[in-house]
Structure 1
Amino acid sequence: MKILLCQINPIVGDIEGNTKKIIEIIKSHKDAKILVFPELSICGYPPKDLLFQKDFIDAIEKAIEKIAKAVEDSFVIVGSPTKSHHVSKLFNSAIILHQGKIEKVIHKTLLPSYDVFDENRYFMPGPTREVVTIEGINFGISICEDIWNINNDENAMYDINVLDELYQKGAKVFINLSASPYHYTKLETQRLKVLKDAAKAYGFPVIYVNQVGGNDELIFDGNSMVISSDGRLVGKAKEFEEDIVEIELEKIDKIPEIEIHEDISWIKKALVLGIRDYFDKTGITKKAVVGLSGGIDSSVVCCLAVEALGKENVLGVAMPSRYSSEHSLKDARKLAENLGIEFRVYSIEEPFKAYLRMFNGSEVALQDLAEENIQARIRGNILMFISNRENRLVLTTGNKSELAVGYCTLYGDMAGGLAVISDLPKMLVYELARYINREREIIPHNVLVKPPSAELRPNQKDQDTLPPYEVLDPILVAYIEEQKSIDEIVSMGYPKDLVIKIIKIVERAEYKRKQAAPGLKVTSKAFGFGRRMPIVQRWV
């Protein structure tokens, strides 16, 4: 029995386009017995509050009918919302289509409501678990979260074990439709383990089909997989690309094991995909503008933008001030030359002088915080002027470490349409830069070795205000991503007063983050809708 893992990149809300893509695959693979598409693949994931719009649901129902008409002897399993008895909630469903009609509908049981997930807002849990028989074989079909609660009573998140119920009802093969977003190391440390444990626990093959593509902040990596009945990875789709994998069900247990080695290159692929899809799917523009300071962050963002959009669509802009070092401008220009992009220089000295005359009564600087921030805001205004006049999207260049502690300027360096590296701690930015330079020097060597500086006052260094990033980043990762307590972080070897100080700074900067551009998520816990902290609070 030939089974197809159809790893597609749907666009949220593009029901017509997604339907066309699904039908094209069905018609070009009529020899396959079963074709499996990802979770909610007809409407794209996550559709969020589009699910509350009646016309949206009506259009999906028509799309299901259209897809069904294209299905002949194959069995097509496609993800879609379906109506429930509840007045305002739907089911998250796997629809089995065969010979022009709906053969069966399976509903998702476990609805995640942690991190970036909010499925209880939209969906009802499936009331029953049922197997689907295709040519005498019982398939246990589940949807994403349903497979994440296997035989782990001590730490189980849910009371229902979906796979166990499917096993009790006679399932012999597990199929899982998924829309599982990416974060660094998730595949090796979590997802692959879950799938292997499921296969070994029940002694059945597991066929897992994941969505790929960028949708707003979330990036889906694909990596659809086939696991043998003894828990070996024997089939895998490409990472961060659309792909179709054919597998013969009877041969699964005879295929040699595949090894996966996730490294920093996956973060690069994820961010490139996130940028490309953000531009392509929003349709706002095909062109970007990046403020090039000559520093590590803007250099990395510019490199990623060029790979995602093409060098002809990226503009680099240097905006030196009286405090800018000569080497910063030189490094920015060299980066632009290495990438082959258009490069412009606009000095901010004259507008800065105008502010000094207005507020200081002369062009003499007091060198306070207000003057530092106004330089960043002048630069933000320049980039937004270019954005409006030339229809370019501004890519902001702040990293996660800066965003965490508020080392950024509202309406200045935070102004833009997409925050590319806002989920990368500073030390990870350096690692990514070294990877970008692995074959030849694209980012000038000086950028990687000079002390980080905002260059908003004479001889300024980041370390004047912040702990060294080698100290700051592990504390931030422990607090934000690993959600450790103060005592747990102190036990890692950090002074308690420093830990408390950093945590307080992080939470007091929440008002800034609420006004930040959407950022691409590549860690287990990003700022944004996956971390919902109050601005007004006195806990920390």
Structure 2
Amino acid sequence: MKDGFLRVAAATPDVSVADIAHNVTNIIARIKEANSRDAKVVVFPELCMTGYTCNDLFLQELLLDKICDGLKEILAASIATDMLIVVGFPFFLHNSLYNVAAVIHEGKILGIVPKQHIPNYSEFYEARHFTTPGKGYERITLTALGDAGKDIPFGTNLLFQADNMTEFILGIDICEDLWMPIPPSCEHALVGATVIANLSASDETTGKDIYRRELVRNQSARLVSGYIYADAGEGESSTDLVFAGHNIISENGTILKETSRFHNDMIISELDLKKLISERRRMSTYETILPKDAGYLILPFHFHHVGTTNLTRTFTQTPFVPQNKADRDRRCNEILNIQALGLKKRLAHTHCTSAVVGISGGLDSTLALLVTAKAFDMLGLDRSGILSVTMPCFGTTDRTYQNACELTKILGATLKEIPIHEAVNLHFRDIGHDSSVHDVTYENSQARQRTLILMNLANQTNGMVIGTGDMSELALGWATYNGDHMSMYGVNCSVPKTLVRYLVLYYAETTKEQKLHDILLDVLDTPVSPELLPPKDGKIAQKTEDIVGPYELHDFFLYYLMRFGFRPAKIYRLAKYTFDGVYDDKTIYKWLRTFYWRFFAQQFKRSCLPDGPKVGSVALSPRGDWRMPSDASVNLWLAELDKINPDA
């Protein structure tokens, strides 16, 4: 919980309709199971103490009288746990019958929340038995429960907050409440609820599971919340309906866990509450309401054991890249169109008749050339107007040179080769630099010479220099200031390196030209390198990831720093968990420290970036997503890293 993770469960117990003793026994069995698996919250289905399908038996005095007996057993069982337990039952009060959820913790009922929307259509006829409550809350006493029944809050406007984990505030929906145009959980969230528990009895019909899943997922996204959906299952009466126990745990639009239907089960996952709070903090339109102004009562309780929650949920090693291939292909096609449309607009606006691309045979310049070709196609321009410039120098290898030339020819662009050895050596003589000293001056002189050529060629051809640098390089400052750092329009500026690979792969898989396919695959197989140092035995000697670290790690760090504002300790923990077996702890720590140092130190390069299209939720444009002072200190972040140093 120190990281903001809270383990929660949605459980479907075996039920026998109207057999409270049987049902309570099975509810308690699920409570014990959830407790043994270290859950802090367990949510049960709607009316699970009696069964949802009791129908007119709900009006029987004997059934209602036995509810308190069942509650006593559940309260007694809850004492041995440190969980919040949410259970549903019919509740008789003020001469009316309510469909309610009781929130229980350590032998005490914290509050009782009634269902607000009573369905009375198609197969549902709850209005025959249950009453719609008024808004608000009151305090009641259940004498049958003894001391545990005194002064219990009852009403719609109740929230439940852990006093030692203040990010956790629970609100309640009951089944139909979710299906309404404005579910009660909308108001709960605006008052502060970060997690919604839905006790449901949703019968199964063909295709309904798809709609239900999307409803839960979308509501968690709309509310920027966790959503625990517990559904009635096998054991309910099959007179007219079948229930499938479709339990779902969702977080801000992502399904973390769900059961396979048609058998009773329990699912467990961890909600990241700090992530949810971070999202709400970032969204200026997420306007909260003070509980007192909304007529809400927040009921505190205390978890006795708050520590680091062991994780069972998964985190992708490539958070910028969808894991499902169909989703990934759709994303790649969308991004290529965004990049090309942005460039199309800029070319049309400036009346440029050519585009100048420095092509190296590497991933980034390959993607930039593919995007430029697509933009020219959109404008109806001949691709010969794309000036693809290769500028071999000290570090250029035959492999990258040949790929650059062949790629240009296949795409129908105009190839121009300008070796820069002589010009760079002349520059070395001018500034008095020893060409045998392969330092930053040696490297950057080449990069700036290339940019000088590209800019002047653009002037010469009424053209525009297309930037090739990607977002990962910008995050790390792995670009020569006023060298490859600069262009007239940067098409890759918000595409991280891990995603660049998949964009090129997608193009290779969807092209109908076999030769283009083969070249793109070879580009993908080429080590990432600026090729500024002489090769060894004809092969690339300068590999970027050996110097600054693996891009898959840096993109992982960048995503959680930028998207959710996570602190270094949490990012380190997630990286260790996610890359277990790929990198050891010391390696992850080393590159995380490198990442923070470079990210802060290199902001000055990002403060003057050229224009370029935003393609995802994370971007580094100084005019939009990331406004950071170039002189910001990294000391606070490095100090936390010092505390978690695995060598300390």
Given the two structures, how large is their TM-score scaled by the length of structure 2? Answer: 0.43
Cα distance in 2 between the residues matched to 1:151 and 1:525? 28
Does the 8 Å CA contact 2:549/2:591 hold for their aligned counterparts? no
Cα distance in 2 between the residues matched to 1:478 and 1:410? 26
Aligned partner of 2:497: which letter? K
Aligned partner of 1:461: which letter? K
* Matching residue of 1:478: 560
List aligned pairs for 1:447-526, cutoff 5 A: 447-458=523-534, 459-492=541-574, 493=576, 495-526=588-619
* Matching residue of 1:535: 630
Does the 8 Å CA contact 1:149/1:156 hold for their aligned counterparts? no
* Matching residue of 2:441: 370
- 1:402 deviates by 0.6
Pairing 1:351–2:423 present: yes
List aligned pairs for 1:78-477, cutoff 5 A: 152-153=186-187, 155-156=189-190, 194=222, 262-280=330-348, 282-310=349-377, 311-360=383-432, 364-438=435-509, 439=511, 440-441=513-514, 442=516, 444=519, 445-458=521-534, 459-477=541-559
- 1:470 deviates by 2.3
- 1:396 deviates by 0.7
Q: 1:539 to 1:296 in 2, by over 3 A?
A: closer
Cα distance in 2 between the residues matched to 1:476 and 1:404? 8
Cα distance in 2 between the residues matched to 1:309 and 1:514? 29
List aligned pairs for 1:49-88, cutoff 5 A: none
Cα distance in 2 between the residues matched to 1:190 and 1:380? 47
Map Cα deviations across residues 349-404 of structure 1 (whole Å, 9 max, x no partner). 11111122223466x33110011001000000000110111111101100111110
Map Cα deviations across residues 389-427 of structure 1 (whole Å, 9 max, x no partner). 111110110011111000001111122111111111111
Does the 8 Å CA contact 2:600/2:633 hold for their aligned counterparts? no
Map Cα deviations across residues 48-76 of structure 1 (whole Å, 9 max, x no partner). xxxxxxxxxxxxxxxxxxxxxxxxxxxxx
Q: 1:156 to 1:526 in 2, by over 3 A?
A: farther
SS at match of 1:437: helix
SS at match of 1:394: strand
* Matching residue of 2:250: none
Q: Percent identity?
A: 27
Aligned partner of 1:329: which letter? Y
Given the two structures, how large is their TM-score scaled by the length of structure 1? Answer: 0.52
Aligned partner of 1:299: which letter? T
Does the 8 Å CA contact 2:357/2:465 hold for their aligned counterparts? yes
Residue segments in structure 1 that go unaligned for 5+ positions in a row: 1-146, 159-187, 198-258
Does the 8 Å CA contact 2:388/2:413 hold for their aligned counterparts? yes
- 1:153 deviates by 4.2
Residue segments in structure 2 that go unaligned for 5+ positions in a row: 1-180, 193-215, 226-326, 378-382, 535-540, 577-584, 636-648
Cα distance in 1 between the residues matched to 2:367 and 2:431? 36
Cα distance in 2 between the residues matched to 1:338 and 1:192? 47
- 1:150 deviates by 9.8
Cα distance in 2 between the residues matched to 1:472 and 1:530? 19
Cα distance in 2 between the residues matched to 1:472 and 1:148? 41
* Matching residue of 2:274: none
Larger radius of gyration: 2
Aligned partner of 1:510: which letter? Q
- 1:260 deviates by 13
Map Cα deviations across residues 307-345 of structure 1 (whole Å, 9 max, x no partner). 111313311000000221112111100100110110100
SS at match of 2:566: coil
Q: 1:515 to 1:361 in 2, by over 3 A?
A: closer
Cα distance in 1 between the residues matched to 2:594 and 2:189? 33
Does the 8 Å CA contact 2:359/2:388 hold for their aligned counterparts? yes
Q: 1:510 to 1:155 in 2, by over 3 A?
A: farther
Does the 8 Å CA contact 2:603/2:630 hold for their aligned counterparts? yes
Report the count of equivalent residues. 302
What is the CA RMSD across the aligned residues, in angstroms?
3.1
Cα distance in 2 between the residues matched to 1:150 and 1:536? 46
Cα distance in 1 between the residues matched to 2:393 and 2:562? 35
Cα distance in 1 between the residues matched to 2:461 and 2:218? 44
Cα distance in 2 between the residues matched to 1:301 and 1:365? 33
Does the 8 Å CA contact 2:554/2:592 hold for their aligned counterparts? no
Does the 8 Å CA contact 1:479/1:503 hold for their aligned counterparts? no
Does the 8 Å CA contact 2:344/2:375 hold for their aligned counterparts? yes
Cα distance in 1 between the residues matched to 2:384 and 2:403? 20
Aligned partner of 1:513: which letter? R
